[in-house]
Amino acid sequence: MGYYEEIPGFEYWNVEAWKKYIRDYIGPIYSTTKTLLELKDYLERYVGKSLKAVKEDDERVLKFFVGGINESGNYTERSLAKLIRLMYGIYVEPTEFVSAVEAVGEEGLEGVEVLKEKEESGFLKLIEKLNDLSSGVLEKSGTKVEVTPTSEILTSPNKLLDVLKELYEASVSFSVPYNPYTFFILTTNDAHWRALKSMYTKLPEVFEKLSDLLGLEPIFIPPVDSEKLRKEYTIWSHKIGGIANRIYKMQTTLWVYFSFHDYWYFRKVAERTLEVFKFITPSPEDLLITYAKTVKEALKDWQEIEKVPNEFKEAIKPGRIGTNYYILILRGSIITKIHYEAGSRNSRDYKGEFSLLRLLDILAPPLLLGNVKIMPTNKNPNALIYYKGIFEGGDEEISSNIYYFSWVVSNNVKDPERWF
């Protein structure tokens, strides 16, 4: 047996173990995001209405808009109203509320309107994406889970913190490197058969049933005459909409919205996630950086890159050299050119000849870990996209890398839904 066959509690070859994984790790993400979205829908009914109308319709809701606003018109540190605004972008102007109540007492509620921010918050996008992806996994696997009723939170607002804590803990325990099942999903997206069966020694005997359950399919079959070589070097990925595809995109979604280091990207996408989860933990974990550290440690002694010919080494070697995005130009299964496109002044061609099959063997460790990607392009059937160094560099660079990788996939890769 290999290393992955000896990890306690990890039975990738067992269909029932996968169903338990879905129930125990996907189920809580679905149930908590469902509860939070139902609460959002309930509160959203009051947008455009006065606080007086809110109180008359359901007095329990009032505290979600004004709870924790002090006499100066500011949010207190753990203000319920502040939390709701961070999560959903639904709010009343704190100073307007205080002024109205100070002027005429409770009658002032009639002049205070419930508002909604024009741009959807990053946290709301996160839970919408996680809920959509996880619901598909549960449906396809026939898994049922219970959901906390919105009424319980309306009656006891502290339960909102319990739901947020459960979502945070579920997101962390679901993610790589903590969860070997999620790691299995990560490794089966964009890796060739020879590398996969070397990593998971029981995989050949169970591959057909796992492929049916998780939804695995080839995305590149090398154009060689040998049937054995075609099988060994076929690159596998996930069927769009299948269980594996949805789990993989849950992980990339968590990387995107739990990425707190790149300043511009953080402010645009992840800031609200950080602020929301600070209500239940002082230092929310950056899940992208956590996995990047694991990748760096795993590859620190990897020297196979030295076997790449010198004329191609600069292009192939993981690391940031202006960009991470290259095009492998093929003649059959031979790489004849690697093109780097960075505008008319900086474009560069690396020319030579090297076996694509040999390159796949050399790159097996970073391919399995997801640090490099080889993907079909949407522009040229005789070319492949090579994206390198996703988890290279400092924390800020890694946060930028995941954003740029998503852009490259969206605009240049065939069937981008496999990745994002």
User: How far, in Å, CA of 365 to CA of 346, rounded?
Assistant: 30
What is the residue-wise DSSP string for 104-116? HGGGGGGG-B-EE
User: How far, in Å, CA of 78 to CA of 87, rounded?
Assistant: 13
Query: Residue 187: is it exposed, middle or buried by C-beta count within 10 angstroms (0-12/13-18/19+)?
Result: buried
CB 396 within 8 A of CB 262: yes
Could you tell me the mean pLDDT of each successive run of 10 residues in the chain, 420 residues long? 88 97 98 98 98 97 97 95 98 96 88 95 96 98 95 97 98 98 97 97 96 97 96 97 97 91 71 94 94 94 91 83 81 95 72 96 96 92 92 83 85 89
| SS3 readout for 221-270 | CCCCCCHHHHHHCCEEEECCCCHHHHHHHHHHHHHHHCCCCCHHHHHHHH
pTM: predicted TM-score of the whole model, two decimal places: 0.95
CB 168 within 8 A of CB 284: yes
User: How far, in Å, CA of 82 to CA of 77, rounded?
Assistant: 9
